[in-house]
A and B are shown apart, each in its own frame.
Chain A
Amino acid sequence: MEEHLKFVIVGHVDHGKSTLIGRLFYDTGCLPKEKIEEVRKICEELGRDMEFGFVMDHLEEERSQGITIDTAQTFFKTPKRRYVIIDAPGHKEFIKNMITGASQAEAAILIVDANEGVREQTKRHAYILSMLGLEQVIVVINKMDLVGYAEGRFNEVKKDLLVFLSSIGISPTYIIPISARDGDNVALKSGRMSWYQGPTVLEALDTFKVKEAAVEKPLRFPIQDVYKVRDKRILVGRIEAGKIRKGDEIVFLPQETKTKVNSIEMLWKDRTEAEAGESIGITLCDQLFIERGAVSCSMDNRPVITNRIRANVFWMSKRPFIVGENLHFRVATQEVPITIEVEKKIDSSTLETISDNPDSVMETEVAQMLISSKDPIVVENFNNIQELGRFVLVRDLDVVAGGIITHTDNV
């Protein structure tokens, strides 16, 4: 069984995201002949040269206007492994689609036009990558053909970008000069930029690591639902961290109910142990009333139980948040009503503070929030266990914001 790595391509409008994807497909031989023909035909009808972008941009509106509206995922392979490639729209008005795509990725390519340099969405997207905790990042400086493959221009853009990236805590693993249109340094080394000694985009991707489940961390098993199957009450869910074994002593939080694992339930399988990433069920040694949202943990290492957290929140809804309105907070399978104090809000592109103690938060703004709930919630700092450190805010059943917990207690 081969490895699979999921990565997202982000960056400013028209800096070449879709073209790079088309090129990756074409150069790895992963584009069906029929597809190339289809794209060629559509480009002809639109009176244009062959556009690799159309491989991902499938909506009529996307092709006629030459923009990416929504994120899409597709697959290609190298001799080393398979890749899931996540395309993300560059336009500011589709930022929620970009975040949707990026939240699924293990690595990212940030693309910058060599001619235009760092632009608004270059910064906003980079910031979102850092918020989502993506650490494996390749920067590609594209359209080197437009600047005569000049090393000087490459270094200028690189310097600009590194100043910004270091301010948000991203240190890219590679910075690669490419021409996605012509294929320079994508799958093949370019003969036109002999001054560049580093890897191609594909070689760089192949060095990245697939995200592993948090097997070595302490047990965190949030309950998703409870089924009555034949004579058993089975608590189902996915193990987010650690391992669970038959006979283990566990505690359900926030209730603090203690018991032992009687059995691990998977259909057609006899299991005595299961680990992070697995969707399983368990039965308990005691008859306890446990509901969705409870988090089972090992006795000796527990997450934080709190009703106040501090977090960075990215607002994604067209309708702004107005201080005073109540939202719901969802983390893993927990959902609780909350109230919010906004400490400050930041422009997600310039990173400038827009205001302290504002009374509203608008789409694309990031806010540092103090979130309070009446009921206790079981959480972690995002840096400890991501699955219990990231959340969404819900208004009228819609997801309107995503966030990362920065402080879990003493706030």
Chain B
Amino acid sequence: MNYLDELESKSIYIIREAYKQFRNIAMLWSIGKDSTTLLWLVRKAFYDQIPFPVMHIDTGYKFKEIYEFRDDRAREWGLRLLIAKNDRALAEGMGPDKSKLDCCTALKTEALKMAIAKHKFRALLLGIRRDEHGIRAKERVFSPRDQEFKWDYKNQPPELWDQYKSKQSDEDHIRVHPMLHWTELDIWEYVKREGIPIVNLYFAKNGKRFRSIGCETCCNPVSSDADTIDKIVEELRTTTMAERSGRSQDKESAYIMQKLRSLGYM
């Protein structure tokens, strides 16, 4: 086995553990490179018959390329696609002109909260990685969220080897992170090897590309000429720029990511 096989095998093991334990689960698909890779691994884990829905938290402010890619792939891969949107907050005028903390909380965290309540999911699969952000580096593979949706980062459950915790009745749901051990570079090397389709926003146009995508209003492209996967891999081997440097929600203050995540943000 080579390194990519090892990463893949570990992720598939985690995905299958989550499904065995919870059955009533969903996978969160942001349509970005990481969750699209997770979706690929989920297809592999279940022999291309995914036994649960794939959920997109739609803020209404995503790039048009994201919506197109989502709908095309959902059709092509026969996904049970759920779209979760906080329509009330949007109707009341919530948007990126408000504070990042408020906007992300209302349009992502609250939208997710409503969807979980509606579908009674016991666990959610998410494609976050440890190397994305220092706060995410602290995550467990199976991470409980309480009924207020809070992440108790000061008192996380022990997690030895591949033995994961089960959900307690005083917990709302478990976040399952099958890709914590991957890096940004691993993702691209795997995307290349597997031929995974990826939103074209990641490829350079006119000297700019996105390294991390989300809402159009809060993402800035970085300077880059990497217009192919090979060139992206090459760029990542040498860059000293942080992956999320184009994401404004990470920068408003030093601990905004911690605050967002402790409130239940993905």
Nearest CB of B to A363, in Å:
11
Q: Are B3 and A1 interface neighbours, CB within 8 A?
A: yes
Residues in B30-71 with C-beta less than 8 Å from chain A = 43-49
Q: Are A34 and B245 interface neighbours, CB within 8 A?
A: yes
Q: A56 contacts the other chain (Cβ, under 8 Å)? A: yes
Q: Are B165 and A56 interface neighbours, CB within 8 A?
A: no
What B residues does A73 contact at CB under 8 A? 130, 137, 180-181
Nearest CB of B to A397, in Å:
4
Stretch at the interface among B12-20, B91-99, B101-109: B12-20
Q: Pick the contact of A266: B44, B160, B165, B168 (CB < 8 A).
A: B44
What A residues does B156 contact at CB under 8 A? 70, 97, 100
Residues in A14-64 with C-beta less than 8 Å from chain B = 29, 31-35, 38, 41-42, 55-56, 58-61
Secondary structure call for the A interface: mixed
Q: Pick the contact of B158: A2, A69, A74, A97 (CB < 8 A).
A: A97
Q: B1 contacts the other chain (Cβ, under 8 Å)? A: yes
CA distance A70 to B140 in the complex (A): 10
CA distance A263 to B168 in the complex (A): 38
Q: What total of chain B residues lie within 8 Å of the partner, measured CB to CB?
A: 55
Q: Are A35 and B9 interface neighbours, CB within 8 A?
A: no
CA distance A316 to B4 in the complex (A): 33
Q: B254 contacts the other chain (Cβ, under 8 Å)? A: yes
Nearest CB of B to A235, in Å:
11
Stretch at the interface among A197-205, A224-232, A246-254, A337-345: A224-232
Q: Are A225 and B9 interface neighbours, CB within 8 A?
A: no
Q: Are A59 and B138 interface neighbours, CB within 8 A?
A: yes
Secondary structure call for the B interface: loop
Nearest CB of A to B92, in Å:
30
Q: B118 contacts the other chain (Cβ, under 8 Å)? A: no
Q: B252 contacts the other chain (Cβ, under 8 Å)? A: no
Q: A325 contacts the other chain (Cβ, under 8 Å)? A: no
Q: Are B1 and A398 interface neighbours, CB within 8 A?
A: no
Q: Are A279 and B16 interface neighbours, CB within 8 A?
A: yes
CA distance A75 to B237 in the complex (A): 13
CA distance A87 to B183 in the complex (A): 17
Closest to B237 in A: A77
Nearest CB of A to B162, in Å:
8
Among A1, A281, A399, which residue has the most Cβ atoms of chain B within 10 A?
A: A399
CA distance A392 to B158 in the complex (A): 10
Q: Are A330 and B19 interface neighbours, CB within 8 A?
A: no
Across the A-B interface, give the 10 residue pairs with the lowest CB-CB distance, nearest first. Answer: A58-B134, A397-B166, A72-B137, A279-B12, A96-B158, A103-B160, A279-B9, A392-B163, A229-B47, A32-B242
Having A392-B160, A397-B168, one finds 9 other A-B pairs with CB under 8 Å, namely: A38-B254, A60-B255, A70-B156, A72-B137, A99-B160, A229-B49, A277-B9, A279-B12, A399-B160
26 residue pairs bridging A and B, Cβ less than 8 Å apart: A2-B3, A32-B242, A42-B254, A58-B133, A58-B135, A59-B153, A60-B254, A70-B154, A72-B130, A73-B180, A74-B130, A75-B183, A84-B181, A100-B140, A100-B156, A236-B45, A275-B1, A279-B8, A279-B13, A281-B47, A387-B161, A390-B160, A392-B163, A397-B166, A397-B168, A402-B158
